[in-house]
Structure 1
């Protein structure tokens, strides 16, 4: 149920007022601070100056910053600088943020239109030019909008939003008036662009990812009070996605997940400012739906960036689960919802995702970040490197996430309640009570957390400590060392008394092991200890995992677990794992090691029946994976860019929650794939229920096969292998694979292409 505007009086203590004590969280902040120091503002500003007609002061970064999405990283960097200054007091962070604002103001003034940006536009000849040239075309109704491409620019409004948000963060942190002025100029520019469109044209443009533009305009309205900005916030409303959510309908399957989450954050902010009930309903229903029906055990969501059908997590445990940006945004949305009506269940989710996903997404040894956090057994987490040559979206959200681990620990509400939502060791100043508080804890590795009022203006007020739902009502509370019987309400243990300096309130939570099944599949399970997701440690990354996935067998699996080091949450599972005993460890700490998080759970009798078939299927999959040289996931943004896909009359499709791509008559699709010496096989995946269609397959412009599809294997996907002549790949590092439809036919759809080595003895 939506909560009326004005009810949201709960708010966190300012990040400026919180300082972390030693813990993995404090370490993450420090490593991230060093990472921010390592980055060069002038390199991130390269295109902003170049496209404004100013001389760049440093060379451009590689990776995404050298593509048409350039500039998104600078927006995240601005926000991360602000947060790190607030969290640590590092003056260099503030100096850099002010410097960047000055540079953006200069570039904006040079253009003279209000626009400032670094995004590019790829013309038909392949050259990349200033992306601003797409906006006059759009105003004239010349719109070519796809999921991530708008008139040749990669998610341009997403990129604009990141800069917009960074400017607003600088202004909000220390009142930098120039930052607000640049933001208003940017807002005015896009006001002219979007108000020139008809409703139908507007929806066409909004079919391309636009980030949280509605949130930024709403925030601009909150800062200035100008109604024009609120009207603009309302314009950024994607009917196709948001209307069903306002009606409490889950139609998220096959939508790109992170494209949607910022839209709901924007609706939440508009609801707070206007009381629009439908927008509040949509935001809350989206959160409930994603967290209960579309999320993995670590709190992340989406497989290969897309939502699947509800309660189908067990079918989508792959090497590309849990994009970090999604969780970064879901935690933002959670904070909004909690401020409307404090409820411990909201922070049960927050804690789960923050601890198990966000903390897994930074490598403490390098400061690098994951894009995906894979949950497929034996998968390697791929972190960005010290070469700083990636700049994926999740590098940007990563540098923000690890700048602010103190932001959600302590909260206060309008009725004077002091809340502890996260058990992270920290000190804080509580201005409302002229108080200083200290939270001491080894949680989640030890069960106790103690809050001490080291300084306080004495008075009567409630203190609320979150009791996680998994605690099963077994939490124990004490005040000044004596047992206390708190009031339990909405997931909190609440003690109201006259508090004075030196008082201590402590909570002890049961850190028991438990099994958690995936939504919709009771046979696929994970192991947790308190809030920690545990993983079977499968060894260092250097050793590829090429064995069958382990399974858990027995009626009482947990009886086989014994702690080997309870203080570090280390366990040994004996007699209940197949094919061998396993060591279990906290998942998030598996930075450079391979893990198993999900397990098929069998009874003894079921395992006897299933073992042969299960192991054979696992072996088949592992064999293909082990022999794979390159894999192409068609219809998905990043793989298509990584493989330099080009196409004509080709469209992404989704069947049975699998992404693919076709090419229509007169068109084609073509992409690069890596090769290696020796006999190779090209494998393509198709849907077995296609109507008749014919197409040819080429490798480096040599036809290797003609494919006919016609209801071949109804109701399922199937693979076709095409052995490659050795001469086609000899001496090469990559080839171009091309699918061309016959006249008046269609190529595919193709649901993935894989190149792998032929089995020993095969020839081509």
Structure 2
């Protein structure tokens, strides 16, 4: 392995690379890189999504529900926020809402993230199914984003639409565009008329038709809507408190042309709406001349930074150096000014007849050409691509505390877009997607590489605002495609040293941290280790995983409460209605998978199975919907919780990752040893693997988890390798393997891999039997609070009660220790059982039933084989009961072995004074008399 590269050496190398053109392929222009090669340090490698086809079953059914959404959703709605930001036509598309639009949480400060998720979903869907519709949708989105970046690279251009008289200039909502008029537009007039045709498209209060002034002290403006929703003209030399105003009486209709005019003459000001005077003020002491020279003369923009930019269209804007009469203003309702007795404005007159370019001619004869501009100027680098201005990124650099209403995780959003583009490139080989992704990398490097180290550390430590998701992983992947040193240097600029160093030292500092802000950091660190060889990255990721699993893990595999972590080992004490954020499970799966590439510890795939088969599958509602992905945000583990599959109006982070999860269920079923010596079968899932290098196929046929086992059939040619079958850590009831009907020698060990090595040939059949047992898992901080598992499947009680339900499970426990005989199977419903009148069902079923993931264990009486001894089940101070200690000795080969365990345990408890001798004898007699299943 090459020696680790320091951040300084990477930056130096990047500076040199930035000055050197990338080497490109002559035919495609693509930067030379071995993109398909796994990192050399990976001792196990994944298969591509299109190498593994899902077979019929639970995963295929869930995926099909999401594919319906992927096929049916109008991607132009996702692109609306990007096109608007670039000042392009949105074609009437309506943004999705929720977090994807200006009206969502925090003014839509996260918009654009969902488009990245959607691109990833489409890319995975295309790889997994080959359906052309997904490739076509990717192409549509990449084309649109290419046009958006191009538009952002240049000065804004007018968007011509049908006007009141010919053409008009449209300001798309979210474009941040306005018209800048020359300084002489008011001409120092003491009497004046300002007239405009407007067509508002959104009911934004305080959006300006015009605002002429210096700052928020001296100005005159006309707002299409004031705080009460009606037009308002105001003029002041002393700020808002000194405004002399005119207010309309009714709101302007949306999507209709309205004419507004203001006249000032002497001490009288009048506001006209559609030719009718609606307000008059005869006590005005201010006029343009009284304000003197003003610095800014804007159409559509306010001097108050918190006010929205006018959304809608402008037609004919005229300024006269006199007050028009009421009759003259009436004539303007149906005629261009030039066709009336008033004539064109004598100070300024804009027809907006232009259809291209970014300037507007003045027809007054004064030559006051107006210019279309952006409130934020424009990108600092031509690679910038976002659905909002660069201002969030700029503001973050000076922030010292969190305020997501101003800055909401801009690099997180950049990550989603970057990831989506990289996935689009991988899936469709569209060079435009890689070019967009590379440009984003160049832009981020140009911003971040010039910041002091202290600034970077402060930024990444800010909750929410500084969250950057999995951007490091994506940037390292970008570097693997471009080979450019500045991209690798960029990835290291996101190092949050205090977190990395603490985890590398195995010091747990997670209490109080936002879970999903930090989990994806470690997948990125693993990829940095791959690229740089720096050991602390690998060590910190490995140690971090151990701080979450199992110390902060709920039974379903999820983590976090209210998005945050509490102290290690506190499970029962953190259960609430906002438990187990779905994004956390998604990112823990990704981290577990990437750790497995470095060390093939079965614990990572045990966790993968747990979280995938339970939280991830259960987070998707079992319902098709073209408009919504129907994925949970939180999964509350409180008693009687009903899952919300359309949280926060939709389009949240968890719905985004949920779309991704549902289109890559096959990504970790199989891995291969880097040297080709072994095939890992990690998940028992109906699927078909094509291992091209070996020339073989492996078809896995199973109804798992309804079926307790699987069958693997080999096809193609012959190849020698070890077949490594994962023996789940819960598989303590026996794990058997046959090849072509013959049992394979060896003793499978739970929580390991069982290897069958041979030269495989077409027609070979491997049968794996994995008997399930019903078992409980106890909350670390409250052993009496338990959750129920049958094999890999978490079973939840369906009951509307809102307090923990008490259940006993030993009553009919089998000699094997299996608790299942205490439950009654539900006919015709696999994995459904009843106990005391309550139905238990798999967590993975995406229903809206009230559920209990945890219950209160209650074993008040000593019962064996359904026979009640009449003796109360004693409990020690640590919560361990007599029955707990007896059944801890399972499995029992015979009834006699169980009775012997009962006798020895009773003797111990009698000696300790925890049980009377008489009651102890009754317990032993009951155990002897009872009948047990094996």
Alignment TM class, shorter chain as reference: 0.7 to 0.9
Deviations 1:404-432 (A, max 9, x none): 11111122112321121111111221102
Matched, 1:510 2:771: yes
Give 1:712's aligned residue.
Answer: none
Give 2:525's aligned residue.
Answer: 267
Deviations 1:312-352 (A, max 9, x none): 11112211111111111111111111111222221110011
Task: Kindly indicate whether the alpha-carbon contact (under 8 Å) linking 2:733 and 2:772 is maintained by their aligned counterparts in 1.
Answer: no
Shift of residue 582, structure 1, vs aligned partner: 2.4
Equivalent residue in structure 1 for 2:670, among 405, 410, 418: 410
- Larger radius of gyration between Structure 1 and Structure 2: 2
Task: Kindly indicate whether the alpha-carbon contact (under 8 Å) linking 1:423 and 1:441 is maintained by their aligned counterparts in 2.
Answer: yes
Give 1:708's aligned residue.
Answer: none
Give 2:783's aligned residue.
Answer: 522
Give 2:337's aligned residue.
Answer: none
Q: Helix, strand or coil: the match of 2:775?
A: strand
Give 1:475's aligned residue.
Answer: 735
Task: Kindly indicate whether the alpha-carbon contact (under 8 Å) linking 2:81 and 2:111 is maintained by their aligned counterparts in 1.
Answer: yes
- Please list, as runs of the form range in 1=range in 2, the aligned pairs for 1:169-184 lying within 5 A after superposition: 169-184=423-438
Distance 2:699 2:808 in 1: 45
Distance 1:460 1:35 in 2: 42
Q: Residues 298, 464 of structure 1: CA spacing in aligned structure 2 closer, same or farther, 3 A cutoff? A: same
Normalized against structure 1, the TM-score is what? Answer: 0.73
Task: Kindly indicate whether the alpha-carbon contact (under 8 Å) linking 1:573 and 1:583 is maintained by their aligned counterparts in 2.
Answer: yes
Matched, 1:433 2:467: no
Give 1:242's aligned residue.
Answer: 500
Distance 2:90 2:174 in 1: 15
Task: Kindly indicate whether the alpha-carbon contact (under 8 Å) linking 2:392 and 2:410 is maintained by their aligned counterparts in 1.
Answer: no
Equivalent residue in structure 2 for 1:134, among 388, 391, 395: 391
Q: Residues 463, 49 of structure 1: CA spacing in aligned structure 2 closer, same or farther, 3 A cutoff? A: same
Task: Kindly indicate whether the alpha-carbon contact (under 8 Å) linking 2:421 and 2:437 is maintained by their aligned counterparts in 1.
Answer: yes
Deviations 1:652-686 (A, max 9, x none): xxxxxxxxxxxxxxxxxxxxxxxxxxxxxxxxxxx
Task: Kindly indicate whether the alpha-carbon contact (under 8 Å) linking 1:114 and 1:188 is maintained by their aligned counterparts in 2.
Answer: no
Shift of residue 188, structure 1, vs aligned partner: 1.4
Deviations 1:381-422 (A, max 9, x none): 00128xx95111111111111011111112211232112111
Equivalent residue in structure 1 for 2:753, among 492, 505, 523: 492
Give 2:54's aligned residue.
Answer: 20
Matched, 1:217 2:251: no
Matched, 1:377 2:639: yes
Distance 2:52 2:633 in 1: 29
Q: Residues 209, 69 of structure 1: CA spacing in aligned structure 2 closer, same or farther, 3 A cutoff? A: same
Matched, 1:92 2:133: yes
Task: Kindly indicate whether the alpha-carbon contact (under 8 Å) linking 1:148 and 1:209 is maintained by their aligned counterparts in 2.
Answer: no
Task: Kindly indicate whether the alpha-carbon contact (under 8 Å) linking 2:822 and 2:835 is maintained by their aligned counterparts in 1.
Answer: yes
Q: Which consecutive residues of structure 1, in runs of 5 or more, have no partner in the other structure?
A: 539-544, 575-580, 611-764
Q: Residues 138, 196 of structure 1: CA spacing in aligned structure 2 closer, same or farther, 3 A cutoff? A: farther
Q: Residues 166, 408 of structure 1: CA spacing in aligned structure 2 closer, same or farther, 3 A cutoff? A: same
Q: Residues 466, 192 of structure 1: CA spacing in aligned structure 2 closer, same or farther, 3 A cutoff? A: same
Give 2:88's aligned residue.
Answer: 54
Shift of residue 555, structure 1, vs aligned partner: 5.8
Distance 2:672 2:393 in 1: 47
Task: Kindly indicate whether the alpha-carbon contact (under 8 Å) linking 1:108 and 1:114 is maintained by their aligned counterparts in 2.
Answer: no
Distance 1:303 1:454 in 2: 47
Give 2:441's aligned residue.
Answer: 187
Q: Helix, strand or coil: the match of 2:389?
A: helix
Matched, 1:340 2:374: no
Q: Residues 487, 342 of structure 1: CA spacing in aligned structure 2 closer, same or farther, 3 A cutoff? A: farther
Give 1:549's aligned residue.
Answer: 804
- Please list, as runs of the form range in 1=range in 2, the aligned pairs for 1:310-349 lying within 5 A after superposition: 310-349=568-607
Q: Helix, strand or coil: the match of 2:640?
A: coil
Shift of residue 249, structure 1, vs aligned partner: 1.3
Deviations 1:225-249 (A, max 9, x none): 1111111111101234332112111
Distance 1:537 1:451 in 2: 35
Deviations 1:71-118 (A, max 9, x none): 000000000000000111111111111221121111112212899xx9
Deviations 1:126-155 (A, max 9, x none): 64887424257449x5x22544628x1321
Q: Helix, strand or coil: the match of 2:413?
A: helix
Q: Residues 590, 47 of structure 1: CA spacing in aligned structure 2 closer, same or farther, 3 A cutoff? A: closer
Task: Kindly indicate whether the alpha-carbon contact (under 8 Å) linking 1:114 and 1:186 is maintained by their aligned counterparts in 2.
Answer: no
Matched, 1:595 2:776: no
Q: Helix, strand or coil: the match of 2:117?
A: helix
Distance 1:376 1:165 in 2: 35
Equivalent residue in structure 1 for 2:411, among 150, 157, 163: 157
Matched, 1:232 2:494: no
Shift of residue 605, structure 1, vs aligned partner: 7.4
- Which of the two has greater helix per residue? 1
Give 1:276's aligned residue.
Answer: 534
Distance 2:822 2:482 in 1: 61
Task: Kindly indicate whether the alpha-carbon contact (under 8 Å) linking 2:472 and 2:524 is maintained by their aligned counterparts in 1.
Answer: yes
Distance 1:473 1:336 in 2: 30
Q: Residues 565, 222 of structure 1: CA spacing in aligned structure 2 closer, same or farther, 3 A cutoff? A: same
Q: Helix, strand or coil: the match of 2:436?
A: helix
Task: Kindly indicate whether the alpha-carbon contact (under 8 Å) linking 2:395 and 2:407 is maintained by their aligned counterparts in 1.
Answer: no
Task: Kindly indicate whether the alpha-carbon contact (under 8 Å) linking 1:515 and 1:525 is maintained by their aligned counterparts in 2.
Answer: yes
Task: Kindly indicate whether the alpha-carbon contact (under 8 Å) linking 2:82 and 2:388 is maintained by their aligned counterparts in 1.
Answer: no
Task: Kindly indicate whether the alpha-carbon contact (under 8 Å) linking 2:633 and 2:654 is maintained by their aligned counterparts in 1.
Answer: yes
- Which of the two has greater strand per residue? 1
Distance 2:568 2:801 in 1: 31
Give 2:65's aligned residue.
Answer: 31
Equivalent residue in structure 2 for 1:76, among 117, 128, 142: 117
Query: For this pair of structures, how many residues does the alignment match?
Result: 588
Greater shift in the superposed pair: 72-81 or 124-133 = 124-133
Distance 1:225 1:296 in 2: 41
Q: Residues 603, 550 of structure 1: CA spacing in aligned structure 2 closer, same or farther, 3 A cutoff? A: same
Q: Residues 524, 225 of structure 1: CA spacing in aligned structure 2 closer, same or farther, 3 A cutoff? A: same
Give 1:364's aligned residue.
Answer: 622
Matched, 1:65 2:100: yes
- Please list, as runs of the form range in 1=range in 2, the aligned pairs for 1:450-461 lying within 5 A after superposition: 450-455=711-716, 457-461=717-721
Shift of residue 487, structure 1, vs aligned partner: 6.9
Equivalent residue in structure 2 for 1:444, among 705, 711, 720: 705
Distance 1:432 1:473 in 2: 36
Task: Kindly indicate whether the alpha-carbon contact (under 8 Å) linking 1:71 and 1:119 is maintained by their aligned counterparts in 2.
Answer: no
Q: Residues 8, 136 of structure 1: CA spacing in aligned structure 2 closer, same or farther, 3 A cutoff? A: closer
- Please list, as runs of the form range in 1=range in 2, the aligned pairs for 1:589-738 lying within 5 A after superposition: 589-604=845-860
Q: CA RMSD in A?
A: 2.9
Shift of residue 561, structure 1, vs aligned partner: 2.3
- Please list, as runs of the form range in 1=range in 2, the aligned pairs for 1:114-125 lying within 5 A after superposition: 125=306
Give 1:144's aligned residue.
Answer: 399
- Please list, as runs of the form range in 1=range in 2, the aligned pairs for 1:529-544 lying within 5 A after superposition: 529-538=790-799
Equivalent residue in structure 1 for 2:654, among 382, 385, 394: 394
Normalized against structure 2, the TM-score is what? Answer: 0.60
Distance 1:136 1:549 in 2: 46
Shift of residue 482, structure 1, vs aligned partner: 1.3
Distance 2:46 2:174 in 1: 35
Distance 1:124 1:516 in 2: 55
